[in-house]
Every structure is written in C-alpha cells, then in structure tokens.
Chains A and B, each alone.
Chain A
C-alpha cells in the first residue's frame, strides 16, 4: 500500500538548539510533528559522547557542527545495509551545503532524545518520510551559519555565499570562514534565523540524485565497523539461554541444578520465565546450560500438514478489502478461470544472527544491539530488568542484515537479565541453529484467484481470496479489521469493473511476523501469475494484456511507463535461445511502481534465471546507485525465495538447523541484472522492498513460457 510522504511544514519555532559556546558544538535538532512545540534549549553538548543534561524531546535528527569543522549527523535510523545513512546524509547536505568529506554520519542512541516511533526503520518509508523535514532542518542550520558568518565577516547576510562548508563574501571569495571557524568564534547563544529557509530547486541539486559513495564503507571494508555481534566491554561475560525444545513449550519449573559449579560460570538465572547462564567464555556458557534443571510443558507438536490445512481459504470468510461492482454473477458464468496458489514459511536468514551487549549498572542500563527499533527495545529492556525507561540507553549498531528479523530482538532482554545477575556486562548472541529454531517466520499463504473474461479478452470480474498467517500481532488485525502486512501487494490495481479481495487471518501455533516486504512477494506471486493465466485464456500477449487493463489516471500512466521500459530493455517478444523464455510481472508498493522481466532457462528440473530486467518508478531518486543496489538485492532475495527457500516443521520444530537444510541463492545462480529508473513523481517513494514484489511471478511466468508447466506453489518445483 502506498505510504504518502507525511505532510510537514517547517517552523523556526520547532528548532531545538543546543547551546555550545565554549569548546562546544552547535547542535540543532528538529522534531517531526509537534506543531505546538516551543523553542527548546538543549543542555550543552559534549560533541564526542552522549550529552549530559536534559535532551529535547523527540527530534528526528541532530546536526552538530564542531569547532574542528566536522559536521556530525546523528540519525535515528539504523543502517542495515540499505544505504539509509548515505541517502539521508545527501538530503541533509543538500540544504546545509557542507563539503561531502566533512560529513560524519553516526548511529544515534536513545540518549539523544529520539522517541520510539522516530527510531524505527522499516516499511520502505524512511527516506520518503524524512525527505522534506530533513531538507528544512539542513536549510535552517545553514541560515544560522550564514547569518553568524556574515556578522563575523562584517557584511550583510545577503552579501555572502555558502558552499562546500564555507561562508564567503560574494564579492571577495578570499574573505571566508569555514563552518568550524564560525562555530569556534561564536559568542553568546545561537538563535534560529527569522528568515524562512529557501530550499533549492531540483535543477540546483548538488547531492540529491547523485550516486554518492556509501558513507559506511570505509569502516566496513576493513572489518572495523561495529555490529551488535561485535560489541565488547572490559570484563564482559558471555550468556547462553535455555530455549524451548518444541514450539510453544513453556518453562514449568527451573532450578540452577549444578550449573553454578560448571567451569567458568559467573551467574545463573533460573526463574519461571527465563533460564540462562553467563560464563567467562561462549563455549562454557553453552555447555553449562545442560546442567540446569528444567521442566518444559509439552507445547505444540506442530506438523507440516497441519499448517497447510490451517492456512487454507474458507469460502465466505475473511475481511473484504476491496469491492467494486459485483463478482458473483460474472464468476458464475461460463468463461471463467480459477486457480490456487501457495507460499511457504520462510526464514530471514540474515547472516548476522541476533546479538546484543547489555551492561546493567546501579545508575543506568546500557544496551548495544543490532536492532531496527531501538526506541521500543528501550521500553522492553526496562521492563525486563525492572528499571525506568529513562535509566536505559539503547544504541543501535550496524546491522548485519535484518529483513524484519531485528524488529523483535529478545536477545537484548536475555543479555540484560543475565547482566543484572552477573553484575558484569554480558553479551548474548544466537547460534545459527537458534536463529532457525527460535526466531519467527514469514507466514505461509494460500490464495484462490478467480477471473471472468468477455468475448473481447477483457477481464470483467476478478476475485482474490487469500489466507495468511499473521504478520502483525493478531490484536492489530482485529483492531484494523485486517492484517495490513498479510495482504500487502494483494489488492487488484487493474481496471476491472467487478473486483473483490478478501483476507483471512490465521493464527498459527508457529510464531510468524515481518519479513522483507511482508506479504508483498506472496500476494504479487499469486495475482500476477493469475494475470498470465488470464492472458493465456484470452489468447493475448502478457504485456498487451496488462496494458489493456491499466487503471486510469496517474497510476495507470506510471504502470504503463515501467511496463514499456522493462519490456523494451529486456527485448520482450524477441526470439531467445532454445530453452529460454521471458516472464513479466508488475506491482505497486510503498508508492513505487515496478515492472520486471525474467529470462529463465530450464534444463531437466533445474530452473536458472539468466537475466533479470527491472523498470522502477520510485519518484525522486535520492541516490541512483543505492536504489539500483536495493533493486539488485531484492531480486536476488526474491529469486532465492522463489527457487529454494522453505521452512517445514516436524514434531514441533523447524526442520532446518543450518543452511544445509535451508540453502540460499549463490553467485553462480544469480542472474545478470539490469535496472532502468523512470521518474513519474516528484517526491521519493520506497526502495527497500518494492522491487521484491514481482520477482516470483516474473520467474514463474517465465517457467511456464519455457515448459508449459504452471507452477502455483513456492518454491517452484518442476515435475
């Protein structure tokens, strides 16, 4: 579903200005949505570490300009590989006008005043939601530096230029001050300019739209970048936690047994909710778990066949999400088609497992964690160790992949509980087996598609009934009437007079939740595969058939542009080598429209995706190279899911414990990729997930074109 950029208007009264005169930095923050907020003054900031004193409430960004002429950008959004630090730095720099080299982008901790919602990252909305506010914040800070710089240079503000981190007299460029010099020489308090900051026109853009290199690569390329799994403190112990032997099994009783006397053990926690051990080494902690005396309830003896039976569309149930005209009569007529599709449980399989370091001290609690959501984690940690949230500081480190997995990081609670008992910093990390067995999964889905054609090959009615395990907690689905995550990508965007979409939530005994794109890949797989089935029944080319059913207005124009661009670049309709075929699919997600063409070859039962062409309209491209990288990554993850990935259960456990039972796509199976960007909108839209949408359908459609086999279950398996 499209997430429109937030309406947001700059007001100088919103500026949060940190006083930093003597050896301090100029620090400026801006809240996202507090129209009634009054100017707040932050305590003086120590530019090198977390600030002392009271932080202003709820800024979405902190700029610091230091006397050393560095511009630090503290972002509340975690960098998990998606390039968000670079993209946000470009947006901020556009209006602040520093030299790119003087910018430093830092992960912010909760101690910088960021609030809970502000600090969450996901849903492909980070860049689009911050685009306007971040530019306004940069412009406001630039104006302050410009006015103060002009004052120090002894000229009027209108007589200076600002570029490359330097304020210079327009008529005499030799008279110039760097941002750092201006901050150093500032006397008295900073105040916001009375002028309204003017934003640059797109034609003037210096950073936005340019392929700026990633700001996090210098540290990543040398192995120096810190991730949650890498966090270390002096005197740190390693924790290990007893995990349920079966899904749903709960601790009935827990006693330390002989765990305390095992080698290296420094603390044992054995309560009704939690049993774990901290020890001097990782191996000692894991080994000592066996010495705990634990009794578990039976739990759920989950079997695979039961899961599939549960996730099956029940006619007449489900929430109606879309309804136009009436589908009943046309779907009862002669020329109709019906098909069922399924997708399986899937794991995130991010390569850095869950990991956190916690240090519970009498005065405060510090946590470093690979998390997508440090704000909500802070509250959870406080609750776990019985402390006030204000005493807890959470710092999001770099994330070694997430894809939704690190929205829910119980590992930090494990570490905090053990640290509280050990009176030492404790690090807890999941093993790969724990990651597969004790995480949560993308839920399985079932789809019933029905369509009716008229004599001219037009769709007169189409229905999509889907059932899915929960993505959001069941409560959210009940409150909203349906689980937005589960039906994401499942609405029918085509111009069809009679349309109906229903979604049926299924509570499974297996924990399910967020996975890149949520229901996007599954729903588009079903809908766009079925579009090909209808095109075949109508005797029409898949591209022409889609063009004939485009919605009216701007959305239709945007779809048309990407469909034609992808088809043209891929050479749709031209002859391919024997055993090769093309497949086409498209989708709308997070405001971004994507069309993709897969070229696959089939040898025996082996499907190989040879080439993959995408045309993407994500509106304004903040960084075309990062957008291309996100597209490439989505394609690879999508193909991996389409051809290989499936979690199955037996005896109450996931059968995979490592990659031998859950292989991922590898280099030799990765297609050549080509991406074309089509700009059909003047604001940026999501890029982290939308290109994943059509992948499975494009591949399945190509496999059909190649073999005549219509495969309706993921992963695709040829007979």
Chain B
C-alpha cells in the first residue's frame, strides 16, 4: 500500500487496513513527530492533516488515510529551493510567543491550528480559539496557545515574504 505523506510516496505493508495511521507513521515509517496521548481521539496529540483537514491519526484507519494526501508535523515547515527551511506561520508564531513547555502535545496543537488557519483565513478570534478546544495541554500552556494561535492567523494573512 502506498501513502502520500508530506508530498512523498511511502510504501507500507498491506496487512490490516484498519490499523491506526498513528502507529503506521510512528512505528513503521519512523515519523515520530506525531504523538500518542490517549488512543481514543480525546487529547488531540496525534493530529495530522488528511487533504488539508485536521484528523486524529489514532482514530484513522490506514485504508482511509491511503485515500488522502497526509501531512504531518515533519512536513509543516517547507524546504525552500535553496535548501533553507521556512517555518509555517504557526511554527513561527509558537516560537515567537514561546508557547510550548514539554511540547509533547504541540505537534497536535500546531497541526490543528495550521489546518484551521489555512481553511479559514478570515476566522474570528472566537472561531480560532474554538478550533483549539479539543487539544489537551497538561503543562497548561493555554494562555500562550491563545496568543500563538492569534499570532499564527495574523502571520498567515500576510503575503509571503513580509512576515
């Protein structure tokens, strides 16, 4: 079976098509940036994008993921033609606001935010915060997640190169 992840094609064993995408990414492909937190779709640590929409990879069967373009935290920043790395607006914003602490949940936080900001460039503050409501952070970075998300929306709205 082939998976399209971050614009690259990966080959994985066919096997059980119901096995969760999370463990295929982490254990079979070594993409460990996507984190396990609860395995029940509650905490949001495992969030990835399927065709640009935020999805809980612990609840996504492999066979379903194979139908979509998958994006993980490893593919959020873009490698420029000159080899330099351009952080995504949300990564830039989370760095500027010094959002993370332990950062285990942050892949999921940033993927949730990135999908929402890309799909809803004109979202209100309330809508942005509502989109983040189902991602747990045990370190309690919520005050900074709020700032980071609002800053990410601001950065994403600026034309490329002016951020």
Contact = CB atoms under 8 A, between A and B. Distances in A.
Partners in one complex: yes
Interface of A: 80-83, 213-214, 216-218, 220-227, 229-230, 232, 238, 281-283, 349-353, 398-403, 429, 431-432, 625, 629, 632-637, 640, 658-660, 664-668, 670, 672-673
A222 B74 contact: yes
B3 interface: no
Contact of A636 (B72, B100, B140): B140
Contact of A668 (B26, B129, B138, B139): B129
B7 to A, nearest CB: 16
B48 to A, nearest CB: 11
B138 A398 contact: no
Given A668-B129, A670-B146, 12 more contacts: A220-B100, A221-B94, A221-B95, A223-B33, A232-B30, A351-B43, A400-B102, A632-B144, A633-B141, A666-B133, A667-B129, A667-B146
24 contacts: A214-B98, A217-B98, A221-B100, A221-B103, A221-B110, A223-B33, A223-B72, A224-B74, A232-B30, A238-B27, A351-B45, A351-B136, A402-B102, A432-B40, A632-B141, A632-B142, A636-B137, A636-B141, A636-B143, A660-B42, A666-B135, A670-B143, A670-B146, A672-B143
A80 B103 CA distance: 9
B45 A432 contact: no
B35 to A, nearest CB: 7
B2 interface: no
A88 B101 CA distance: 16
The 5 A-B residue pairs with the shortest CB-CB distance in the complex, in nearest-first order: A223-B33, A636-B140, A81-B102, A400-B104, A81-B101
Contact of B139 (A217, A223, A282, A633): A633
Contacts of B76: 222-223
Interface string B14-32: 0000010001001100101
Interface of B: 19, 23, 26-27, 30, 32-40, 42-43, 45, 72-74, 76-77, 85, 87, 91, 94-95, 98, 100-107, 110, 129-130, 132-146
Given A222-B73, A223-B107, A401 B102 contact: yes
Given A80-B102, A637-B140, A352 B77 contact: no
B103 A81 contact: yes
A223 B34 contact: yes
A217 B107 CA distance: 12
B138 A349 contact: yes
Contacts of B140: 632-637, 640, 665, 670
Contacts of A637: 138-140
B74 to A, nearest CB: 5
Majority DSSP secondary structure for residues of A touching B: loop
Nearest to B94: A221
A76 B56 CA distance: 36
Nearest to B100: A220
Nearest to A658: B40
Nearest to A660: B42
Given A221-B87, A221-B94, A225-B103, A666 B40 contact: no
Given A283-B23, A660-B40, A220 B136 contact: no
Given A398-B102, A400-B103, A659-B42, A353 B139 contact: no
A561 B145 CA distance: 30
Nearest to A673: B143
B91 A432 contact: no
Given A81-B101, A281-B27, A351 B42 contact: no
A80 B138 CA distance: 12
Contacts of B105: 351
Contact of B35 (A349, A352, A431, A670): A352
Given A223-B33, A351-B35, A660-B40, A668 B143 contact: no
A627 B30 CA distance: 35
Nearest to B92: A221
Contacts of A222: 33, 73-74, 76-77, 85, 87, 91
B102 A659 contact: no
Nearest to B72: A223
B128 to A, nearest CB: 10
B74 A665 contact: no
Contacts of A665: 140, 142
Nearest to A692: B140
Contact of A227 (B40, B85, B104, B137): B104
B134 A220 contact: no
B103 A659 contact: no
A80 B134 CA distance: 23
B26 to A, nearest CB: 8
Question: Among the interface residues A282, A401, A431, A640, which one has the most CB atoms of the partner chain B within 10 A?
Answer: A401
A221 B138 contact: no
Contacts of B110: 221
Contacts of A225: 103
A659 to B, nearest CB: 4
Given A351-B45, A632-B144, A667 B94 contact: no
Nearest to B38: A432
A220 B99 CA distance: 11
Contacts of B100: 81, 214, 217, 220-221
A490 to B, nearest CB: 24
Contacts of B45: 351
Contacts of A432: 37-40
Nearest to A222: B77
Nearest to A402: B102
A282 B16 CA distance: 13
Nearest to A638: B140
A659 B139 contact: no
B136 A664 contact: yes
A431 to B, nearest CB: 6
A658 B42 CA distance: 9
B141 A629 contact: yes
A612 to B, nearest CB: 9
A640 B139 CA distance: 11
Contact of A221 (B106, B134, B137, B144): B106
A341 B87 CA distance: 50
A232 B100 CA distance: 24
A442 to B, nearest CB: 14
Contacts of B141: 629, 632-633, 636
Nearest to B31: A223
Nearest to A214: B98
A269 B32 CA distance: 28
B78 to A, nearest CB: 11
Nearest to A221: B91
B134 A666 contact: yes
Nearest to B34: A223
Contacts of B98: 213-214, 217, 625, 629
A271 to B, nearest CB: 27
Contacts of A282: 23, 27
A672 B35 CA distance: 28
B40 A659 contact: yes
A299 to B, nearest CB: 26
Contacts of A213: 95, 98
Nearest to B108: A351
A633 B101 CA distance: 9
B139 A81 contact: yes
Nearest to B45: A351
Contacts of A82: 101
